[in-house]
Amino acid sequence: MSDTDPTADDCPYSNAIPMLGLGTWENTNPAACAESVATALEMGYRHIDTAQAYGNEESVGKGIAAADIDREAVFVATKVWIDNLAHDDVIATTEASLDRLGVDSVDLMYVHWPSRTYDAEDTLGALNELYEDGKIDRIGVSNFEPDQLREAIEISDAPIVANQVECHPLFRQAELREVCDEEDIELVAYSPLARGDVFDVPALQDIADNHDASPPQVSLAWLRQQGVTAIPKATSEAHIRDNWQSLSLTLSDDELDRIETLDETGRRVDPGFGPWNQ
Ligand X SMILES: NC(=O)c1ccc[n+]([C@@H]2O[C@H](COP(=O)([O-])OP(=O)(O)OC[C@H]3O[C@@H](n4cnc5c(N)ncnc54)[C@H](OP(=O)(O)O)[C@@H]3O)[C@@H](O)[C@H]2O)c1
- Which residues between 126 and 155 bind ligand X (CB under 6 A)? 142-143
Closer residue to ligand X in complex, CB, 38/88: 38
- Which residues between 207 and 226 bind ligand X (CB under 6 A)? 214, 216
Q: Is 45 a catalytic residue?
A: no
Q: Binding ligand X by CB under 6 A: which of 30, 242, 256, 267? A: 242
Q: Binding ligand X by CB under 6 A: which of 6, 17, 20, 24? A: 24
Could you tell me which of 167, 244, 175, 159 has the C-alpha nearest to residue 198?
167
Closer residue to ligand X in complex, CB, 44/216: 216
Closer residue to ligand X in complex, CB, 187/193: 193
Q: Does 174 engage in binding with ligand X (CB under 6 A)?
A: no
The angle that helices 215-225 and 237-244 make with each other, rounded to 10 degrees, is: 40
Q: Binding ligand X by CB under 6 A: which of 228, 234, 247, 251? A: 234
**DSSP assignment of 22-65, as one string?**
EE-TT---HHHHHHHHHHHHHHT--EEE--GGGT-HHHHHHHHH
Q: Does 195 engage in binding with ligand X (CB under 6 A)?
A: yes
Q: Does 114 engage in binding with ligand X (CB under 6 A)?
A: no
Q: Does 115 engage in binding with ligand X (CB under 6 A)?
A: no
Q: Does 20 engage in binding with ligand X (CB under 6 A)?
A: no
To ligand X, the closest distance from the beta carbon of 92 in angstroms equals 21
**CB within 8 Å of 251: residues ≥ 6 apart:** 207, 211, 218, 221, 222, 225, 259
Three-class SS of 73-118: HCEEEEEECCCCCCHHHHHHHHHHHHHHHCCCCECEEEECCCCCCC
Q: Which residue numbers are catalytic?
A: 54
Binding site for ligand X (CB under 6 A): 23-25, 49, 112, 142-143, 164, 190-196, 214, 216, 231-236, 239, 242-243, 269
